[in-house]
Amino acid sequence: MTKLEKLIELFNTVFEGEIDVATISGDTRLIEDLSLNSIGLLYMALAVEENFGVKFNNDDFTNIRTVNDVLAKIEGNV
Amino acid sequence: MTWTSSLPRMGDIVRVKVRFYHHYGIFLDEETVVQFGMPDNSGVDPKDIAVMVTDIDTFLNGGELETARLSVAEKVKRFSPRKTKELALNRVGETGYNILHNNCEHFVNECVFGRHDSFFVNSVREEIRDKCNK
């Protein structure tokens, strides 16, 4: 399973059908396309931290806009 | 810890509901609430969020005040109100806010119990772990 697939599976688990994971790609925007509000972003960040062993800092909440940005964070490129 | 509408005293943890979460502060008197950030930090660069002193009305921002009622065990463990006041005021101006790892709830728990903890973040983590472990 690729990291993108693993991330999509995580979104599906955490948000339990509230977002349409079938349409998620790397370019998918977290706020505009997935309609994540502040609490959704918090859940997303904690879920990624728990499952991928990364830690979100303040700049991440400003800079991470798309699924690709989350992947870059996971891969240590942010 | 439970929450009441009773009037706070010096060194008490106070909170106010803001949308889906609570904003926390240390009450010293009606003119002096020490808080990490404001009730609503939307649009504020996290680098600019600092420990600050405001009056109670600014802290509440139109919301309703809740005062922490500590359990017997928590009362035994907490610092004295005077020490809490000293700790809180000594940190005015401090930055480094992070909603997950260093938020307003962490701040009040450090000032009262010497413990870096956020019940809100911990409960969301637990919820996520439960979902992922199903």
Q: pLDDT tens digits for B61-96?
A: 999 999 999 999 999 999 999 999 999 999 999 999
How far A28 CA sits from the closest chain B CA (Å)?
22
Q: Could you give phi then psi for residue A23, rounded to 5 degrees?
A: -100, 0
Beta pairing partners, B33: B27, B54
Burial of B51 (0-12, 13-18, 19+ CB in 10 A): buried
**CA–CA separation, B113 and B108 (whole Å):** 8
- Cβ neighbours, 10 Å, residue A59: 12
Exposed e or buried b per residue across B9-21, where buried means at least 16 C-beta atoms within 10 angstroms of its C-beta: eebbbbbbebeeb
Kindly determine whether residue A50 and residue B21, on different chains, have CB atoms separated by under 8 Å: no
How far A31 CA sits from the closest chain B CA (Å)?
15
Kindly determine whether residue B100 and residue A42, on different chains, have CB atoms separated by under 8 Å: yes
pLDDT the model gives residue A77: 58
pLDDT the model gives residue B129: 93
What's the mean pLDDT in A43-49?
94
Q: Does A31 touch chain B (CB under 8 A)?
A: no
Q: Does the ipTM exceed 0.95? A: no
CB A4 within 8 A of CB A74: no
Can you give the pTM of this predicted structure?
A: 0.87
